[in-house]
Structures are given as C-alpha cells and as structure tokens.
Chains A and B, each alone.
Chain A
Amino acid sequence: MSRSVSYEVQSYRDGKWMIDSVYDEKEMAMYVARDLLDSPRHKMVQVLEEAYDESSGEFISKVIFSRKREIDRTSKKPAVKKQSIERIGKTTRPPVEKGSTSFVKYMILLVVSVGGIALTLIIGMYILLEVLD
C-alpha cells in the first residue's frame, strides 16, 4: 500500500483558513507554524496532515497542530497601553455623565423657553397698556 503524506500550514485570516505553505516533512511544517505565530498578521495557525492513499485514491486529513497567537508574547507594552486607554475611557466618560449632560441641556432649553414666553407676555402687556392710555 503506497501512502504519500504532506503537511499544510494554514493561517486564519479574514474569517477563513488560508493555506500558508505546504511541506513534505512534519518538522518543517511545525517550525513554520510556530514561526508564523510570532507575527501579528497571524492570529491562529494550524497544521493539517494530508495523507493520500494511492491504492484507495482517498485523501485523509487531520489537524495535528492548532494554536492561537498569545498577544502578550510579542509585546507587553501595547497590551498594557490598550488597557490603560480603556480604563481612562471608562472614568472620563461614564454613562452617568452622559445623562447629566442631557439634563443640563434640557434645563437650559426650559429656561430659554419660559424666559421667551415671559418676555412676550411683558411686551404684550406693555403694548396693551399703551393702547388703553
């Protein structure tokens, strides 16, 4: 029974698995897969073992390696920076503050409206008194 085996390194990009490269040696494929994980372009990689059985004409595929990139492995600083940005964002712009901004706007609008109506009434009364005189 003749059986040929190849190893496909795949990278998960744009929502799908894409073939990165193909090898006839498992060690080479594993080496490349691990190497790809050091690049921020590759968030997840896997190695597929593809065996072709010439007597039956069948392909048998199985995942022999699958790993996600560890964000902290490449650079800790950006991760920390991102967290502090998020923390600042939460403290300076909480939902309560957003609500109070709306309340202030509402109060200003109310004062302006009431003031406008009152001013109109005063002018109206003044004109009426002038006419009656």
Chain B
Amino acid sequence: MTGESSPPSGKEQRLVFRILNAWRELCDEDRFPTVDKVGPAGFGDDWSSCILLGLDSGSEDPVFEYIGENFDIGLQGKPLSDAGEMTLLGHGMAYWKRSVTKQAPITMGDEFVDADGRGVLYRSVILPLSDDGVKITALLGAANFKFKDEPAA
C-alpha cells in the first residue's frame, strides 16, 4: 500500500503500528498484556478498528468477543469461520494460528475480491494476549483497507 513502508513523521500514520505501540505499552514488563487491559482506553479511536478473538475453548475456530464498529458486521459471539472468505475479517484474521504459534504480533497485507466483486487491499495485525503470561488466551486483531481502484489517501 502507498506509504506503508516509509517511516512516519509525528503521529504514527499506519494503523498496525499504532496498535502495535499501544499493545507494547500495555505489556509493560510482561510478555503479553492480559485480556482485561485491552479496551478503548488504551487504543483510543483505533478501538473501532479492532476485534477480540477468544481462544478459551482451545478450539480450532476462535470466537469473536468484540468487533469494532468499523467492521459493520454482526458476528459478536460467533466463530471466526462465520466471517467467510469474502470479508475483511475472514482474510485479515486468517493467519491467527501463526500468532499463537510464534507467540508474537504478526502483520500481513494482501488483497481479495469481496462479495460485490470489488478488489480490496488490506493490512491487518494480530497480537497475542494472555491471562497468565504464558498461554495465549485471546487475540487482538485490527485491520484497515481500501478498494483497489480507490486513489491513495
């Protein structure tokens, strides 16, 4: 995406880095923040571009515990697989297992065609959360996008 790779001046321009920085602050001296630390207080306006995926059941399909209003999708309490392959969340959170395996934040960017046939360019980030500092109990995700034929901002 245009401008994604250039270092920022002043306030961080890229959503994924703002989320990563906020996550690092919540970590403090720990390796991961606890789930209860994560909320609008730590992320400000970006909280509406965030989602929370619960892994408590240990299943292969994490559950949406929170979905920011920017996603405009009614999947709260539903499994990630319900997002489908033609949505931003379906694509942007598809690599969640890598974040659990690596026990580290991961960011990826790619493109897909949505249900209306529009090309979508996106970048997402998935960050691990833990209640005991060892086992990953939830994931914080965030994503932003633009349509492929949309001029760069």
Task: Say which residue of A22, A25, A27, A28 sits within 8 Å of B104 (CB atoms).
Answer: A22
Quick one: CB contact mask for B105-142 with A, threshold 8 Å, 1 for yes? 11111000000000000000000000000000000000
Quick one: CB contact mask for B2-38 with A, threshold 8 Å, 1 for yes? 0011110000000001001000000000000000000
* Contact call B7/A25, Cβ cutoff below 8 A: no
- Is A23 engaged at the interface, CB distance under 8 Å to the other chain? yes
- Is B98 engaged at the interface, CB distance under 8 Å to the other chain? yes
* Contact call B105/A21, Cβ cutoff below 8 A: yes
Task: Say which residue of A20, A22, A25 sits within 8 Å of B109 (CB atoms).
Answer: A25
Interface size on B (CB < 8 Å)? Answer: 15
* Contact call A21/B7, Cβ cutoff below 8 A: no
- Bound CA–CA A21/B31 (angstroms): 12
* Contact call A19/B107, Cβ cutoff below 8 A: no
* Contact call B20/A21, Cβ cutoff below 8 A: yes
- Bound CA–CA A73/B62 (angstroms): 43
- Bound CA–CA A91/B6 (angstroms): 51
- Is B103 engaged at the interface, CB distance under 8 Å to the other chain? yes
**CB-CB nearest in chain B for A25:** B5
Interface residues of A in 32-65 (CB under 8 A from B): 32
> 13 additional contacts, CB 8 Å, given A22-B105, A24-B108, A32-B20?
A19-B104, A21-B105, A21-B106, A22-B98, A22-B102, A22-B104, A22-B106, A25-B4, A25-B5, A27-B5, A28-B5, A31-B7, A32-B17
